[in-house]
Amino acid sequence: MSRYVLDTNIVLGLLKGAPYARYVLDAYQPFSAPNISIQSIVTLAELEAMGFRRQWGTPRLEKLNQLLRKIPLQDINHPAIIRQYVEIDAYRHNGHPDQKLPQGQSAFSMGDNDIWIAATAAALKASLLTTDKDFLPLHGVFLDVVWIDQQGMQ
């Protein structure tokens, strides 16, 4: 059994039927038992904001809602997720007392939403499926990051 947190770009790729999303379905089988897939409430908010900004029509919003109903939602209001957020944020600024950035790296850029998503995966001991390289500095330190090269699958 594998447990996955699906990053926003993976859910968006599933919505669009992107080649990299088909690869994720085939290679990782995130919706096939005994595997479990989860989405952060942050992903839900990002997708709803994107749909609002881009004025997605009813058919696309319906398709999004059907997809989102398949993926259990994890709130971030949980002590373990908040603790992971604190630690990952300290790490990205090279201020973590126990985890130091690799030699020569002083800090790295990662948005707060991405930290919440990573913290969710770390707290749930789930692999993060993503196409975003911003998560890679966290791989093996706080969580397992499975980076999908969407450019190589078009």
Tell me the sheet residues that pair with 143.
Answer: 139
pLDDT of residue 151: 82
pLDDT of residue 45: 94
pLDDT of residue 154: 57
Distance between CA atoms of 138 and 134, rounded to whole angstroms? 9
Q: What is the DSSP string of 69-135?
A: HTS-EE-S-SHHHHHHHHHHHHHHTT--SS-PPPTT-------HHHHHHHHHHHHHT-EEEES-GGG
pLDDT of residue 107: 80
SS3 letters across 22-45: HHHHHHHCCCCCCCEEEEEHHHHH
Distance between CA atoms of 41 and 77, rounded to whole angstroms? 10
Amino acid at 3: R
Looking at CATH, the fold of the domain delimited by 3-153 is given as: Rossmann fold (3.40.50)
What are the mean pLDDT values of the chain's consecutive 10-residue runs (154 residues total)? Answer: 97 94 96 96 95 92 89 96 97 93 85 97 98 95 96 70
10 Å CB burial of residue 151 (0-12, 13-18, 19+) is: exposed
pLDDT of residue 103: 86
Provide the residue ranges of all domains of the chain, joining segments of one domain with +.
3-153
